[in-house]
Structures are given as structure tokens and as C-alpha cells.
């Protein structure tokens, strides 16, 4: 019966994993993952706001509006 009790937790994990994978596939940055990373590895630094994080990710992805070939 113990395995039946673990089903809801496994379902939540799979749902979160699928949602994160879909966001990454379409290029949406994961702010929650960023916050977890900052808390875990850089506790002495303040994390960026969501807006600053999103702008930084767009600039990193598209080069801040600089055109590029191929």
C-alpha cells in the first residue's frame, strides 16, 4: 500500500517536470529555478526581480537586439 500513497507525489513531480520542459522548449525562462539556484548557491546575493531576470534572459538569448547571421 505504500506505493499507492506515493502516487500523488509522483504525479506532482511529473507535472512540474513536464511544465518546466515545455517552458524550456519554447524558450521561456524559469524564474522559480533561478530563485532556487540563487538561494542554494549564492545566499549572500540578492536575486534579480522577475522583470530584470526576464530582460537579462531575453538579452542573453537574442543578443540585445544585435543582428546576427545564421
The DSSP result for 27-62, as a single string, is T---HHHHHHHHHHH-TTSPPPPHHHHHHHHHHHHH
Residue 69 lies in a domain: no
**pTM passes above 0.75:** no
pLDDT, tens digit (0-9, with 9 covering 90-100), for 22-55: 877 776 778 888 899 999 999 999 999 999 998 8
Q: Name the domain count of the chain.
A: 1
pLDDT score, position 64? 61
For 37, the domain range is 2-62
Residue 14 lies in a domain: yes
Mean pLDDT of the chain: 82
First CA to last CA across the chain, in angstroms? 56
Please state the rounded mean pLDDT for residues 10-32. Answer: 81
Residue 6 is placed in which grid cell?
A: 506515493
CA 6 to CA 1: how far, in whole Å?
A: 9
Residue 38 lies in a domain: yes
Residue 48 lies in a domain: yes
Residue 70 lies in a domain: no
Amino acid at each position: 500500500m505504500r506505493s499507492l500513497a506515493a502516487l500523488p507525489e509522483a504525479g506532482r513531480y511529473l507535472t512540474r517536470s513536464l511544465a518546466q520542459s515545455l517552458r524550456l522548449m519554447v524558450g521561456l525562462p524559469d524564474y522559480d529555478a533561478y530563485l532556487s539556484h540563487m538561494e542554494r548557491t549564492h545566499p549572500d546575493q540578492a536575486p534579480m526581480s522577475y522583470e530584470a531576470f526576464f530582460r537579462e534572459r531575453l538579452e542573453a538569448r537574442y543578443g540585445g537586439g544585435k543582428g546576427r547571421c545564421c
